[in-house]
Amino acid sequence: MPQATELDNANRMRWSGGKGHYEVYYLTFNHLESGCGFWIRHTMNAPLDDERGAYAQMWFSMFDSKSPDDNFGIKKKFDAAALERTDAPFKLSLGGCSLENGRLRGSMSGSGREASWDLEYSVNAKPHLHLPEMFYKKDIADTTVLSPALAAKFTGVIVANGRRFEFKNDPGCQTHLWGRKHARRWAWGHCNAFDGHPDSVFEGLTVHLKKAGVSLPPISVLYFKHAGEEYRFTELASAIVGCKGEFTTGRWAFSAKDAVRMVKGQITCGDSDMIRADYSDPDGEPSYCHNTEVASARLTFFKRKHIFDGWSEIDSIESRNAAHVEFAGRSADPKVKNVIQDIT
């Protein structure tokens, strides 16, 4: 058997065949020429109860920043036995769709919608860890997440509802997450499509957790790369002391700072830009995710010489209709009318 690479280990499926586990591989990316964004997910869920067997799903969603009426999402459910996987080299196959390190192919149709894709994408030298490093060494979090391809470039073709999209190093990401239960509420965002700054990257999360029935204060973990400099606020101390985030459906504002650097940002989108995705935890509790890949983002960077000095703005960057964001919780937002459709 081939020796597993660091990338194989990052994408390796954590499900051992037992109950009480869910796992997701998602890719979000943009076709800059058309102003469209895409969201493709390979998922599995092993419920805790005996009545519901383990299952897998394929998801495809398209977002059009110029014509939100053309936004759509479809998903198809399979018995878990239909999910084929290898760890080294990593590969998932489900319902004629496949995902490998740096490659994805597939097709889906139903509910009057159809889509096919054949894409390659660049991968990271090392995976991006969203959470404090200790979370990956011990089974601490209810959900663990990392990105094997945080600032990917996509090439290839998508055909969706008769429209053909040719990708030529267009921006996006690939992420892998797994766990026992979704958070109570969260906002997630990503962007590597800042206008005039193709090498700048943002990845972040503000999460509301509940432990032993007690709701905890929100925690934000944020990462920025700009002008050749990294701003990493993903360890526990920097997240608790240096990061803030607040959100409502359609708007997320956040900030992060250390002794001499600060970043303020926000991601916004309209109700019609989003599609609602309905999730189910292994214990059966539902959660509702309101997602778009055509949001707008703005980041402002500040510096100072020392902690007693005032802040000076050094740069501001934005992405118009090519940022990724989702707002999720335990209730659906009625303002988001578009819902991903189940197909057979």
Q: pLDDT of 70-108, one tens digit each?
A: 999 999 999 999 999 999 999 999 999 999 999 999 999
| Whole-angstrom distance, CA of residue 68 vs CA of residue 110 | 20
What confidence tier does 212 reach under pLDDT thresholds 50, 70, 90?
low
Answer with the residue of higher pLDDT: 132 or 249.
249
Q: What are the tokens at 285? A: 């509790």
| Whole-angstrom distance, CA of residue 229 vs CA of residue 141 | 29
Task: Say what the pTM is.
Answer: 0.96
Which residue has 């065949």 as its token pair? Answer: 17
What does each C-alpha distance from 77 to 12, 55, 109 come to in angstroms? Answer: 21, 7, 13
Share of the chain above pLDDT 90, in %: 88
The reply to whether omega before 89 is within 30° of 0 (cis) is yes
